[in-house]
With several copies, the nearest count.
Chain A
Amino acid sequence: MHLQLSPQAELTDVHVDVQRTSVLRGLDLVVAAGEVLGLIGANGSGKSTLLNVLATLIPPVAGTVQVRGPVALLGHAPALYSQLTLRENLQFVARMTGRDDAVADAALATVGLAAAADRRADRCSHGMRRRADLARVFVTKPSLLLLDEVHTGLDVTSAALVDHVVDGVRRRGGACVVVSHDRDQVARLTDRVVELAAGRVAPAVVA
């Protein structure tokens, strides 16, 4: 584990509005390099919004956001083109980031979808799409990885993928933020857990 001094992400007094309603309100958060941070909170408390802020996809209305990339975000809905095959989807990502097509095939093999590579994304089951989305991480090798309920839809064998992915990022000296409602999962996977409530984060009491 390469510990670095500068944090991977740092939010200071961040206020975020979504469609004119306030979601985050004076939030402070530091994600250290090499850290795996768990993020929990009730439905609608703003976890997904916070991940989007960390990915600099949603600008705050006030406060500062500093993030070191490259960043990858796995959200509630997979970012797949439904009419492209899984292979085409991953090759597209590979080419966008200047990588070789072979990387895409390797990533699909890793998530156990080598044989499904030529199936269109909209012909895949829910879990297969989630896996294909996860395969992106093996292509882009981010140093800040944001996982939004990433275990959703993964079957028993593929749940281990998440550990693997998180491990990889940690070994590269990057950081992860893991959102989940499964407290055991979070406790097992992460170094530190914070809870989001009332638009801010606070260290969580993990059962």
Chain B
Amino acid sequence: MTLFGRRLPIIAAVLLAVGLVAGLVAPPDRIQGNLQRLMYVHVPAAWLAFLGFAITFGASLAWLWRRKPRYDRLAASAAEVGVFFTGLAIVLGSVWGKPVWGVWWTWDPRLVTTALMFFVYLGYLALRRATLDPLVRARRAAVFGVLAFVQVPIVHMSVLWWRSLHQPPTVLKPGDPTIDHSMLAALLVNVLAFTAVFALFVRARVRLAVAQDEEDTLPGPLAGDVVTAPRLEGVSRDE
């Protein structure tokens, strides 16, 4: 089993190329001009972060129910990739915000809740890193993976609960999306492309975890074998 496989990377690359073209071809925003093209990465990144954490949530529940190691691996991998995409969304949002809002960071509820979500899942990863025993780790991570997910709806709803600077839902909302249709098309292509990248990352991470687990479950030496009888000959005879 190779880390990346063959077909998925090709699909992802093709989709990314198409997405890039679509992003460049789509009309510039009336007010923001070309800057607005950052949207084609920022928005998919944010959504894929949500997807990652949703997978972590589902896999954690599945682990608590079935206790199969593969759910634990999936949860961990999805969380890692989710953290990556959260970071990407934050960085691109900052880059976008500097010219649009005039600052890198503002105390906008969506921004703050996103940052908190980032910290929560960093905590998730820190918890995993700190726990060695696989079973204990899987349990604690599963409980926390379920609990942590409350952050996601909070991030999504934050713009509605607290009226703010950040774009309110324009696509993911009931009714017709309030966005230019060619922009929407370009956005959707990019969402698709980054989803392929997401799948690629998660799969690679899961395979890495499988390999690691297999290495660990090879019947190694018994813990007790390291202890031998004392070797007393010749030791302090020389004094």
Contacts and interface: CB of A to CB of B under 8 A. Distances in A.
Q: Indicate if A touches B (C-beta under 8 A).
A: yes
Interface in A18-50: 18-23, 25, 41-46
Given A59-B135, A168-B239, A172-B239, A21 B232 contact: no
Interface residues of A, number: 44
A168 B232 CA distance: 11
| Of listed B220, B230, B235, residue having the most chain A CB within 10 A | B230
A168 B230 CA distance: 15
Contact of B229 (A22, A157, A167): A157
Main secondary structure of the interface of A (DSSP, over half): mixed
Contact of A115 (B227, B232, B239): B227
Interface residues of B, number: 22
Contact of A42 (B216, B227, B236): B227
Interface string B210-239: 000000100111111111111110011001
B132 interface: yes
A199 B216 CA distance: 18
7 shortest interchain CB distances as A-B pairs = A116-B226, A157-B229, A115-B226, A44-B227, A168-B236, A112-B228, A45-B224
Contacts of B222: 21-23, 25, 198-199
Contact of B223 (A22, A61, A131, A141): A22
B99 interface: no
A112 B227 contact: yes
A155 to B, nearest CB: 8
Interface string A148-183: 000000000110110010011001100000000000
B134 interface: yes
A43 B223 contact: no
